[in-house]
Each structure stands twice: as structure tokens, then as C-alpha cells.
Amino acid sequence: MKSKRMSGILLHPSSLPGPDGIGDIGPEAYDWINFLVQSGCELWQLLPLGPTGYGDSPYQCFSAFAGNPYLINSLLLVDEGLLTIDDLSDRPEFPENAVDFGPVIEWKLKLLDRAYKNYKSQQSLELIDLFQKFIIDEQDWLNDFSLFMAIKEVNGGLSWVNWNDDLRKRDKQALVRFKEKHQALIGTHMFRQFLFFRQWSALKAYANNQGIRIIGDIPIFISSDSSDAWSNPELFYFDDNLKPTVVAGVPPDYFSITGQLWGNPLYRWDIHKKSKYQWWIKRINATLRLFDFIRLDHFRGFVNYWEVPAGNPTAEIGKWIPGPGADFFEVMQKELGVLPIIAEDLGEISDDVYILRDQFDLPGMKICQFAFSGDPGDPFLPHNYPVNCVAYSGTHDNDTALGWYQNAPEKEQDFCRRYLARSGDNISWDIIRSVWTSAARITIAPLQDFLGLGTESRMNFPGVASGNWSWRALPNQIDTALAEKIHELNFLYSRISIPEDE
């Protein structure tokens, strides 16, 4: 990522247009890659691709290794002979501008069950061989995940911490009995993962062949209701009854006056260190098969993290606990070579976080929206950006640029207008342009900002449990005119490869 000035767009696949009520990794995603090429952007940033659980959040997934089956595209399954057009004839009428997760999940799983039924009846030798190879290649995580999801389904979606003791504590005989009784259900979950990775691998190959590289996202913590916690309880702070003793969060900050109580289990870093971070090495390697670069969410947690006693109603009461620090990244560097990582270093950050970031030459993040509550020395103002950073107009956790401006105090609005030397009438593009002119080698803006959309199009409200992650672009919003406008921006500020004959 250090060779030249580049730019990209932040857009999760679920926000793409498409007929099945949610954006996915089918034809519209290929159109999106073509749009990025046309716009002169070389980077596509998205959120975690794991199977979403609580609150439909991609940051609360049932697995750190599995893919989200709701992103599997139905038309590609028709192309493969796993579905017919008739299978799509009873598709409900979905809203175009938002994901209504309940009906979407019901519809997607109905299609995937049909696809698996057709797969078993057709007995395609090629697909059988590919599926069996996938099961063998991914057995390290796939077996536990599929078993976890099957048990969860039989228990009506109940979190594993509330299962019967024999299954919750992974009694060997109980697991054998369950596998014998529910072999077909376990196979269903394996097949969904096979389809997801098959479709995603093809899309990533297409993107890379077009010169587009993909930035993915690793949440530092895993969901409490995940196959990772269930199958590796020794790696987390659980008591003898497998209940968490402490959980993750952050203290009161910019986003919330009571802090954010995430509730994720916390790592026993002493155990991870003894194994030379094998679980983490597997996790990062698996993630790098999906993406070219990784945004490491909550980077500060590797220096120190906020520990909240389990059962507390908010994150106000807690304490800072040292993380693994440089030792972790030294092991990762030895394993991976150059670390393809962006450090999410936002929030209330101490100097030791920046020291760790710079020790491994990792680019941090700069958010232009944060810049206007201070003075011209504010590090989030574009003229203060270092070269080795990734600069954003905003992220999925922020309001849109327009929404931020409309809701900002008048003092911040005034400083913003003065700084940009603009009236504020086209604030989204004014902020983007300012970021693009900066020294930052990488610049990224959410698609919502390029479209000039307001708060109604925001992706996430941190600390709010429901109603997030649902925004979708309309088909007519991603067009040639917008691509050409972005291309001009990239050309003017040297964020595009210029052919020699120009």
C-alpha cells in the first residue's frame, strides 16, 4: 500500500442493489468492481464478511472464519444448476433502499436449502469433488462451526451459553450422538459455506484482475455467541461453568456518555502467547485469503483494553488491562512478513498506542469529521495528515458528511466553512476534496458521501443495538456520471495511474 497515492470507496456488499432484498456477491458486485475501475479508485473497503448474529451486525458474527450465507447470490446458483428460475418465482417484494433483515434471512435460507436439496439429488461429480475438497481444506474451523450452527438451530437459535450442559461443555459422547442424529443439518451449514467461499473467491479474483484490491476488517474481539468461543473456551476469561467473568467495552467517549458495553469475551493473552498466537495466526491467514489488506479494528486493544465485570449494565465501571503489545506483532511479522494491516487508532488514545503502531510502520486512520472542534493544529485536519495514514471523510461508525455538518454545532460548521473556503452548499464533496488533496497516501470515502446523502443513510450508530446496517444504494445512483466525477477527483490529486501517452 506504500507505492503510490491511491483512493477507494467504503461500501459493504449488503448495501449494493439487487433483487433479493440485500446486496450480495453476485452480478451487482461485479458491476461495482467495474464502477471502481471507471472511477479510478483502486481500493474497495468493506466490513467483516462473517455470518451475522445479534443485531445483524457484521461485528458480532457466529464465527471469525466463516462467511455470511445471506451474501450468496441466487442467480449465480441458477447458473450452476443448483437453482432454477422457477425457484425464484416466489420471491417476496423487498424494499430497494434498505435491508429488512427478517424477511431477507427467511428468503435467503429458503433458497439455500433448495440449492442443497438440488445438489444432493443431482449428484454432480464435479461439485461433489469440489465440496469434499472444501470440507477437507477448511476442516480446522468448518467442522466446529457447522456443528455449532446445527446445535444452535435445533435449540431455536439459543446462545450456546444457554444450551444443555453436555453440549455446552462439549461432552464427546453427546457431540457424537448429535452428529449421528443431525448429519444432514450439519451438511447444510457446510454447503452454505462452500457456496459463499466459491462465489467470493471468484469475485475477489475478478477484482484483483481489474487492478482493484480489497480492504477487509477484523474486529479485535469475537462474539460471545460464536463457534470460536464455544470450541476454544480456554482462550477466553470464562469461569468453570463457561460463563464470562469479564467482557469487552470502551469507557465513556465521543460516541457515548456511558461508554459502549460490547459484551464480547476477553482473551486470555497469556494462553495465546504460550501457543505463539496460533489461533490468531490462523485467523489472520484466513482473513487474508478473503482480502488484500486488513483494517484491524480497535487497535488500541493490543496495547490495553477496557475490562468490564460481567453483568454490569454499562461500560462506565471497568479498568484498563495491558494487551499483548509488540510481542504479538513480532510473531505476526515473522509469520506474514510485511504486515498488510491498517491500525484503527481512533478514540481516546494514549501515546503508547502510536508508539506500537509506528514500531511496525502501520498506517493509522484520520477522520475529517473529527477535525473541526479544535484549532488549525488538530491532527484530523487534512493539512496535518502524515503520508503513512488512511484518511477518510467518515466511516461506517460516523454520520454521513452531510448529516454530520447539518447536526454539528454552529461553531464547528463555521470553522469547517472557513477551512474549506466553501459555502457549505456541497459539503460532502468539499470534505472529500479536502481529504483527497492531503498528503495521506490512501484516501477513502463511503459511497454515501459521494452521493451527498444525509443522516437517513447512515450505516451504524455505535452503542445502539438495533436498526443499523440496513442502508442500500439504489440502482440508478451508481452510474457513469458519478464514476466520471470521482475519476476527475482522482486525476487532479494524483490518485490515479496516468498512462504515459497523456
Question: How far, in Å, are 2, 79, 80, 106, 114 from residue 84 at the CA level?
Answer: 46, 8, 9, 18, 10
* Contact status, residue 291 vs residue 212, Cβ threshold 8 Å: no
C-alpha cell at 199: 462465489
pLDDT tens-digit profile, the chain (502 residues): 456 999 999 999 999 999 999 999 999 999 999 999 999 999 999 999 999 988 999 999 999 999 999 999 999 999 999 999 999 999 999 999 999 999 999 999 999 999 999 999 988 899 999 999 999 999 999 999 999 999 999 999 999 999 999 999 999 999 999 999 999 999 999 999 999 999 999 999 999 999 999 999 999 999 999 999 999 999 999 999 999 999 999 888 766 789 889 899 999 999 999 999 999 999 999 999 999 999 999 999 999 999 999 999 999 999 999 999 999 999 999 998 989 999 999 987 889 999 999 999 999 999 999 999 999 999 999 999 999 999 999 999 999 999 999 999 999 999 999 999 999 999 999 999 999 999 999 999 999 999 999 999 999 998 787 889 999 999 999 999 999 999 999 999 999 976 544 4
**Exposed (0-12), middle (13-18) or buried (19+): which is 416, by Cβ within 10 Å?**
buried
CATH, range 1-213+472-485+497-502: 3.20.20.80
From edge to edge, which strands make up the β-sheet containing 319-322?
260-265, 246-250, 304-309, 319-322
- Calculate ∠ Cα 100-106-112, nearest 5°: 125
Q: Which one is catalytic: 217, 297, 307, 399?
A: 297
C-alpha cell at 362: 502501520
Among candidate residues 294, 305, 302, the one with its CA nearest the CA of residue 354: 302
Q: Is 180 a catalytic residue?
A: no
Q: Is 297 a catalytic residue?
A: yes
* pLDDT computed for residue 502 by the predictor: 43
Q: Which one is catalytic: 20, 42, 307, 344?
A: 344
Long-range contacts of residues 47-53, Cβ cutoff 8 Å, at least 24 apart: 47/12, 47/217, 47/396, 48/216, 48/217, 48/218, 48/219, 49/13, 49/200, 49/216, 49/290, 51/149, 52/469, 53/223, 53/225, 53/226
What are the E-state strand segments in 251-354? 260-265, 293-296, 304-309, 319-322, 341-343
* pLDDT computed for residue 499 by the predictor: 52
Among candidate residues 81, 119, 84, 109, the one with its CA nearest the CA of residue 20: 109
Q: Quick one: which H or E segment has residue 45? A: strand 43-45
* pLDDT computed for residue 349 by the predictor: 87
Q: Which one is catalytic: 42, 225, 397, 399?
A: 397
How many angstroms separate the CA atoms of 42 and 429, rounded?
19
Q: Is 397 a catalytic residue?
A: yes
Q: Which amino acid is at 299?
A: F
* pLDDT computed for residue 255 by the predictor: 65
Strand pairing category for 341-343 and 293-296: parallel
Domain boundaries, the chain: 1-213+472-485+497-502
C-alpha cell at 431: 470534505
Question: How far, in Å, are 68, 352, 390, 456 from residue 210 at the CA level?
Answer: 24, 39, 22, 33
